[in-house]
Amino acid sequence: MVARHKMSTIRFSKIRVLETGYNNAALNMAIDEALIENIGDAPILRIYGWQPAAVSIGYFQSIREEVDLEKCSKIGVDVVRRLTGGGAVLHEIELTYSFITKQYPQNIMESYRWICETIVISIKRLGFDASFVPLNDIVVKGKKVSGSAQTRRKGVLLQHGTLLLGVDVDKMFCVLKVPSEKFKDKIIKDVKERVTSLAGTTFEEMASSLKTSFATKFDAKLLADTMSTEEINHANWLAERKYNSGEWNRRR
């Protein structure tokens, strides 16, 4: 049975920190799933990037409807389906985080707030006036700089999300399809008005601030760690068999 927690009561003695560097899309999603499957008592804060650039689509999205696969292939952009819902994202100039834990608020809205407010603090520390907009966005001066998504499996919560360090909306719409070609220009203009980045912030600065915020919020010691052999093997297997497969990526 999963224990029920109020947000304020959850503390961790330590948080395992995994900085897994830059990986391709299939391996990035496979690592998240492998960590869910192999998690111990301590929650995990994972920090990572994408190489090459990649489009991830939400669990419920149709890859054919959302992504220009031919264009992605031509310009070397990976494509992968996430374990989590939400929309299609172009991952390029950003820091991506995952927080994986067995203790969390059971209420979904509360659990998003619980993690996103920690992210907000880390952005504020860098001098940006950030705030949380439910369900899953973080904005600076009304413009989105971060989006997150969650899944819960076997009593484990995974929330992963992006922190935009740069944004190229034109490239985004070069690889993402729009619901209506007729209104494509307007859609791009709207996104340019609604999305911004934490420009001037480096990956390392963002990572450092994120770690400090999680340690402070949960009164936890940070344990810098690497993935175990078992976790690496599991992730490689999932990358090859699941996240690189048409069966998974073209499921809808």
Q: Give the span between the Cα atoms of 220 and 46, in whole angstroms.
A: 15
Work out whether 171 is an interface residue with another protein (CB under 8 A): no
Nearer to another protein, 179 or 200 (CB): 179
Q: Which stretch binds another protein (CB under 8 A): 38-46, 54-62, 71-79, 184-192?
A: 54-62
Q: Which of 43, 58, 105, 161 binds another protein (CB under 8 A)?
A: 58
Q: Tell how strand 221-225 and strand 137-140 pair up.
A: unpaired
C-beta of 88: minimal distance to another protein in Å?
Answer: 7
Work out whether 88 is an interface residue with another protein (CB under 8 A): yes
Cis peptide bond prior to 52, omega within 30° of 0: yes
Nearer to another protein, 12 or 99 (CB): 99
Structure tokens at 151: 């899944």
The upper half-sphere exposure of residue 250, i.e. CA atoms within 13 Å in the direction of its Cβ, equals: 5
Q: Give the span between the Cα atoms of 144 and 38, in whole angstroms.
A: 33
Cβ burial, residue 99 (10 Å; 0-12/13-18/19+): buried
**What angle in degrees, to the nearest 10, is found between the helix axes of 229-238 and 25-38?**
130
Nearer to another protein, 136 or 209 (CB): 136
C-beta of 147: minimal distance to another protein in Å?
Answer: 10
Q: Which of 5, 124, 152, 192 binds another protein (CB under 8 A)?
A: 152
C-beta of 160: minimal distance to another protein in Å?
Answer: 13
Q: How many residues in the shown chain lie near another protein by CB under 8 A?
A: 21
List interacting residues with another protein (CB under 8 A): 58-62, 65, 84-88, 108, 135-136, 149-152, 179-180, 252
